[in-house]
Structure 1
Amino acid sequence: MSGHRHHHHRHHHQADDVPAGPGYRRALWFALAVNAGLFVTEAVGGHAAESVSLWADALDFLGDSVTYALALAAAAMAQPTRSRLAWAKGLSMAAIGLWVIGLAAWRAATHADPEPATMGLIAVLALAGNVAAALALYPHAEGDSMMRSVWLCTRNDALGNLAVLAAAAGVFGTGTRWPDLAVAALMAGLALHSGIAVMRAARAELQNAST
């Protein structure tokens, strides 16, 4: 998957060659505002629609908001500090994936079916916001592990929005909760995969900095 792409080329980067200028910071502030708003929207919608995939997407947005705040704080920091923050963010991405797997298993044992119309409407709104954030951040996708984690989170959320739309269609078509749970499990797997990729890139940067 693309989570592993190119990070082996960037282990030598120092803070002074990271493009953390005004354009990058503006993009981060914009993405932070979008994701914080979408987290609230999807959390409310996930509760109302009883949808695990919407909850998974909402938690992605919460994690992204934390990522953007960390990236803003880290922009002026030395590279080892940035790499440690990126490692912590990767760990949080993986933890979100595990939490969603647990929630999906719990919902599988209950008999509440999600409401597909609410799922679909909120997923469309979230996709629009996420595409805007992704376009703002794309020019900075090939920075160090912190900038890489920012891009991966944004990309994953866009894929997650599309997956929630597919889940809503599946729930509507089958009248059961299983499409919602299946999509939530896939999203959890993506969060785990990307989190591990970010942790590996950050660890490699730290190892290189200590040699």
Structure 2
Amino acid sequence: MSCDCSHASANSEKEGKTLRIPLGLNATMFVVGMAAGLWAQSSGLMADALDMLTDATAYGLGLMAVTRGLRFKQYSARWTGATLMLLSVGIVADVIRRFFFGSDPLGAAMVGFSILSLCVNVTVLRMLAQYREGEVHMRASWICTRADVVANFGVLASGLVVLATGWRYADLVVGLAIGIYVAKEAVEIWQQSRNPGESDAAFSEQ
């Protein structure tokens, strides 16, 4: 029994160390990304930055959950999913606003930040890859980061289009696509939190 408790404690400590770095990185990138999005008048950049904030929230919830029981971890994942869904609604609302009131996105700023953001998120995704089949709170963190990587590629592509052609609607199209994709990820996390799976049961017995 003491061995099992020691093993569970070691797992919790490892998960905690893994989540602290992404939490700090995403919180920092949210501030930088939001400033860049406002300056560049880019829905895609602002959506990406808000996604970073959501991920930082998810990592914070996951950090709180590492030493808790299965029920708390399920609730943590559900809150992550709910936050993502709210983010999705906000992104779509901003796209609609910019469509009607206009915007003049800066392609160079979009490309520059998306490359920086992509490097950060790929690093975090590699750190969390070992938990993609782990407990529900860690799977939620991995899914959030996967969504970020997809969003980064979208912003990069739209930034290149805006830079090359000046067509501002590329930014709006990508912003809308990110909003829809984030909603899909929110539903996936919610479903997994309701059906935690065998790996969660195995951890909860330790």
TM-score above 0.5, yes or no: yes
Residue in 2 that maps onto 1:137? 128
Q: Distance in 2 between matches of 1:165 and 1:21?
A: 36
TM-score (norm 1): 0.86
Match of 1:27 among 13, 18, 23: 18
Q: Specify every segment of 5 or more residues in structure 1 that has no aligned partner in the other structure, as ranges.
A: 1-15
Contact 2:58 2:80 (8 Å CA) reproduced: yes
Instruction: Tell me the amino acid that sits aligned with residue 102 of structure 1.
Output: A
Superposed CA deviations along residues 131-172 of structure 1, whole A, max 9, x for unmatched, are: 111111111111122111100111111111111100101112
Q: Specify every segment of 5 or more residues in structure 2 that has no aligned partner in the other structure, as ranges.
A: 1-6, 202-206
Match of 2:174 among 164, 175, 183: 183
Contact 1:24 1:137 (8 Å CA) reproduced: no
SS for the counterpart of 1:21 is helix
Matched, 1:64 2:55: yes
Q: Distance in 2 between matches of 1:30 and 1:61?
A: 13
Residue in 2 that maps onto 1:6? none
Match of 1:55 among 29, 46, 55: 46
Q: Residues 9-20 of structure 1: matches in 2 within 5 Å?
A: 20=11
Instruction: Tell me the amino acid that sits aligned with residue 96 of structure 2.
Output: A
Regions of 4+ moved over 6 Å? 16-19
Instruction: Tell me the amino acid that sits aligned with residue 134 of structure 1.
Output: L
Matched, 1:78 2:48: no
Higher relative contact order (CA 8 A, sep 6+): 1
Instruction: Tell me the amino acid that sits aligned with residue 61 of structure 2.
Output: L
Matched, 1:107 2:98: yes
Q: 1:175 to 1:32 in 2, by over 3 A?
A: same
Contact 1:56 1:184 (8 Å CA) reproduced: yes
TM-score (norm 2): 0.88
Contact 2:15 2:66 (8 Å CA) reproduced: no
RMSD: 2.0
Instruction: Tell me the amino acid that sits aligned with residue 23 of structure 1.
Output: K
Residue in 2 that maps onto 1:153? 144
